[in-house]
Structure 1
Amino acid sequence: MAILYDDKYHLHLGYYEDNCDYESIAFKRQSEDVWDVFFDFKGYGINNITLENELTLQPYGTRIFSIDNKEVDYDIGVQQFKRLLFINKII
């Protein structure tokens, strides 16, 4: 079953410290209170560190994590994005 997203609800999450400029985008699922966050590894010239069968949404990239909540908090989303970049030695 394909996941459908509500195109009225999306949020850009960025990391702009230490001369870096990385951005991901979160989309709200239509049928549930979940936000899926996508990152375009190829667009940044980075090897994709996600599972091979992970969901990819063109042109936004590959899903890197999800946030289970009706509303997404920008600061929490950015912290999770920054953590993923750090753990995977991107920053």
Structure 2
Amino acid sequence: MRISYDVSYHFHIGYYENECDYESIALKRETEDIWDVYFDFEQYGLKSAAYESSATFKEFGTRIFSIHVRDLEYALGAERFEKWLVNQKVI
């Protein structure tokens, strides 16, 4: 199944603490209240072996997780992204 995104609904989610500068992109699905978060592993020199089966967009990276909410607030996205970075031992 191909996922379509509403390109008017996207934003950058970042982690900029402790001398780090990591950023992901959240995209809103067109027909669902789901935001998919993409991370460009290559840009940061990281391996994405665990995510090889996930959706990948050349311009955004690989989908690392989804957030099930109609209107995504930056604080929630940033919190989930930070947790992902910690779980992946990036930070």
- Could you tell me which residue of structure 2 aligns to residue 70 of structure 1? 70
**What residue in structure 1 maps to residue 4 of structure 2?**
4
1:80 corresponding residue in structure 2: 80
Contact 2:51/2:64 (CA < 8 Å) preserved in 1? no
How many residues of Structure 1 are paired with residues of Structure 2 in the alignment? 91
What is the TM-score of this pair, normalised by structure 2?
A: 0.95
Stretches of structure 1 lacking an aligned partner (at least 5 in a row): none
- Whole-angstrom CA distance in 1 between matches of 2:82 and 2:38: 13
Q: Distance in 1 between matches of 2:50 and 2:29?
A: 20
- Can you give the 5+ residue segments of structure 2 that lack an aligned partner in the other structure? none
User: Helix, strand or coil: the match of 2:51?
Assistant: coil
Query: Which deviates further from its counterpart, 42-51 or 21-30?
Result: 42-51
C-alpha distance in structure 2 between counterparts of 1:79 and 1:4, whole Å: 25
> Offset of 1:48 from its aligned partner?
1.0
TM-score for both structures, normalised by structure 1: 0.95
**Take 1:2 and 1:23, find their aligned partners in 2: how far apart are those partners?**
25
Q: After the TM superposition, which parts of structure 1 deviate over 4 Å for at least 4 consecutive aligned residues?
A: none
Kindly report the root-mean-square deviation, in angstroms, between the aligned alpha carbons of the 2 structures: 1.0
